[in-house]
Structure formats: C-alpha cells, structure tokens
Amino acid sequence: MRVERASRDAATPLYGGLEAGGTKLVCAVSSNPARGALAQVRFSTGDDPSALLAQVCEWFTEQERAWAPLAALGVASFGPLDLDPRSPTYGFITTTPKRGWAQCDLLGPLRRAFPRRPIGFDTDVNGAALGEGRFGAARGLEDFLYITVGTGIGGGGLARGALLHGLVHPEMGHIAMPRLDGDTFEGACPFHGRCWEGLCSGPAIARRVGASAETLAADHPEWERVTRYMGVALGTLTCVVSPRRIVLGGSVRRAGQLGEAEFFRRTRAALAGALGGYIDSPALRERGLDGFLVPPELGDDAGVFGALALAQDALAEAARSR
C-alpha cells in the first residue's frame, strides 16, 4: 500500500476509490493520490454484493469521519459493465457468470450513501491504465496501453489523452493469432479457441502443460511459446493503435522460475521480430524496446489508484459542467 507521507491538507478535496475485482475489492481514500493513500482496505468479493457494498459504504463513511467529507468517488470494476450514462442500467455489472453478481447495481448504494458527489465509473483495466498513466509507469503519456495477462487478458489505455471506449470497451485479449510452426494446441478460450487469451492467459498455460504457470521451470519450452505469442500480439496492438508505451501487468509476467526480467527480455525480442523493422520511430531507435514495453510501477495498487484518478476526473468534469 502506498501511504501518503504527509497528513491531509485541509484545502484539498478528499477522493474515494473503489476497485472491484473478481476475488477482492479494494477501497482507498486520498487527497493526493500521486503521493499515496491516507487509508486503504481490502474485502473478499464473495457472492453477496449487497452486504459487501454496505460494508464498503460504511468504510467510506468512517473515512469521512476521520478526515473530511468525500468530494468525489471513482469505481473501476470487473465486468461486463453498462458504461452508457443514458442507459437505465448504467453502473451495473451485467452478464457475469460470477455467482451473485449478475445484474448487480454497483453504483446505486454509493449514490445513495454519498448523494450529490460525482462518481467516475469505468472498467478495471481502464482503471489500472489510468492509474499507471497518472501515477505510475506511463506518467505524462497521452497515448499508451495497459495490458494485463493473468486469469484472462484485458487491455485498456489512452488515445490522445482519453480512455479508449467506443461501442463497448476494448476486448484486446480476444484477437486472432497465427499458429507457431508445429503448435497443435487448440487453445483455451470458449469463444475463440486459440485467440491471445486462449494461448497466453494463466489458465491457458495451465491447460496446455498440465501445471500452473507459477511452478514452471525456467527451461520449460512453454516460456518460449508464450513469449513468442506475446510478442506477436503486442506487435498487433502496436500496429493498430500506435501507443507510445505498453505497460504489461498481470500475474503471467512473473513467469514462474523464468522470472519477470527474462520474460520481458524474451517478449521484447519477440515483439521486435513481429514488427519486422516496419515501425520506424526515433523513440524506438534511441531507447529500444526497453522503454516501450515495461512492467507496471504501481503493481497491485494500479486499480485502486486508477479509481482515485476516476474520482479526480469526475470532480473536474462536474466543475466544468457547473
């Protein structure tokens, strides 16, 4: 947890952030998220959202008593979500198979507990992207991607300073992939078989080799396949959106006995191979791919700090439209 070094400045607004993940919910309050959080708490997600959201509201209310009234809230959540502010189910988790959470009104309890406070809302991965963009490994960049490769593969990011949205939201894990010579694995994605997620997510690796990725030896041939596929997929993302940097988070990058540094080294080499010298940029020539494909700086805190950034943006947006 990144704790704020100084005590709260009474002149600055207090922000509340909520990251809702499939296994845990993390809440934090901060008046200066660039420095850290004043307080942070973690709940198990479980299967009873209304009880859990009541606890969340209670925790934020305690923080208000300890510090100051919340000026704004931000929520970054697992999905799929209804992100359309004109929709009657805006703020809901929609069709998730997660027990208890389908059609869950995530924002409703917060709205009732903290009326008249603006609430920012976005996907978990856009939240993590915003966290790394404002406080972490992509500080100062207007065009970058944040990719998480773990239980699934998701991506978010900024283009010209705005979070990527559109028709729904990006589903970068489900892009089509070429087959490496001799690879007969049919992939683990129930929708697309051997899409990127079907090849490189933690469960895909486990299904292919019959063991968890965390336990795989450094010389297991699976690491060669995974890093090559990672390079191909990241090359596709680079061609499509031309990011200035890709921040790669999630658990798979820790790469068992291979280790994170070697996983990044091989993935960068595979990415260079996939681009084939086609993308010519002074930034890539001078710094190589070491500065282009990087690990997150906030680690597990990216999501909740992204939620705090959503709160900052919601407050600024409310001030503009006043």
Q: Which two tokens stand for residue 304?
A: 């909740």
Residue closer to a second copy by CB (options 172, 205) is: 172
Q: Which of 64, 105, 171, 183 binds a second copy (CB under 8 A)?
A: 171
Residue closer to a second copy by CB (options 236, 267) is: 236
Name the residue among 264, 183, 187, 190 with its Cα closest to residue 230: 264
Binding mask of the shown chain, residues 101 to 130, with x at each position contacting a second copy by CB under 8 A: ------------------------------
Name the residue among 234, 256, 245, 220 with its Cα closest to residue 153: 234
Size of the site for a second copy (CB under 8 A): 49
- The residue assigned the tokens 């406080």 is 135
- Selected range binding a second copy among 11-19, 59-67, 112-120, 175-183, rule: CB under 8 A: 175-183
Q: Which two tokens stand for residue 270?
A: 């595979």
Residue 174 interacts with a second copy (CB under 8 A)? yes
DSSP, res 188: S
Looking at residues 262 to 281 of the shown chain, list those that interact with a second copy (rule: CB under 8 A). 274, 276-281
Binding mask of the shown chain, residues 230 to 259, with x at each position contacting a second copy by CB under 8 A: --xx-xxxxxxxxxx---------------
For the CA atoms of the chain, what is the radius of gyration? 20
DSSP, res 39: E
Buried b (16+ CB within 10 A) or exposed e, 59-87: bbeebeeebbebbbbbbbbbbbbbbeeee
Residue 217 interacts with a second copy (CB under 8 A)? no
Q: Which residues bind a second copy (CB under 8 A)?
A: 80, 95, 143, 155, 159-179, 191-192, 194, 232-233, 235-244, 274, 276-281, 283-284
